[in-house]
């Protein structure tokens, strides 16, 4: 499912989204596609677990260019643990996990503890390369 930049921004504020996109630059030995778990949900990211487990750091300065000018959406990559630019034209949304309410956030943290937290770097790269 492809989304407009406006819709993608709105979804990122209330959800964690799993997207798949084609790499802009080919990396030898890597898949041409990359998967990413991302969000812009401030409550989740600014929480104590968000700052510790997701290594979230609020931006200290704006990007050197205007992402809107290039039709890019900025999002926090949960596995890479940094901001990434997403081109709405070249991505597919694979899954949406709501994190708007406390109950939804707790469900995410349970998933995080059971699945993501114990992953080795190689397993994370395998997930991202999928």
Q: Which percentage of the chain shows pLDDT scores above 90?
A: 58
- How far apart (Å, rounded) are the C-alpha atoms in residues 68 and 62? 12
Instruction: Indicate whether 130 pLDDT > 70.
Output: yes
Write down the pTM of the prediction.
Answer: 0.89
Which pLDDT tens digit goes with each residue over 83-126?
999 887 777 899 999 999 999 999 999 999 999 999 998 998 88
Token pair in block for residue 23: 């790499």
C-beta atoms surrounding 102 within 10 Å:
9
pLDDT at 1: 65
The model's confidence at residue 27, banded by pLDDT at 50, 70 and 90, is confident
């Amino acid at each position: 499912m492809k989304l407009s930049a406006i819709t993608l921004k709105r979804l990122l504020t209330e959800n964690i989204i799993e997207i798949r996109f084609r790499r802009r630059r080919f990396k030898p030995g890597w898949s041409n596609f990359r998967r990413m778990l991302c969000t812009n949900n401030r409550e989740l990211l600014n929480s104590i677990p968000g700052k510790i487990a997701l290594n979230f750091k609020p931006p200290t300065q704006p990007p050197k260019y205007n992402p809107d000018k290039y039709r890019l959406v900025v999002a926090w990559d949960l596995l890479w643990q940094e901001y990434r630019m997403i081109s709405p034209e070249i991505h597919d949304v694979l899954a949406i996990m709501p994190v708007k309410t406390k109950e939804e956030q707790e469900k995410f943290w349970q998933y995080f503890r059971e699945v993501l937290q114990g992953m080795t770097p190689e397993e994370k790269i395998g997930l991202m390369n999928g």
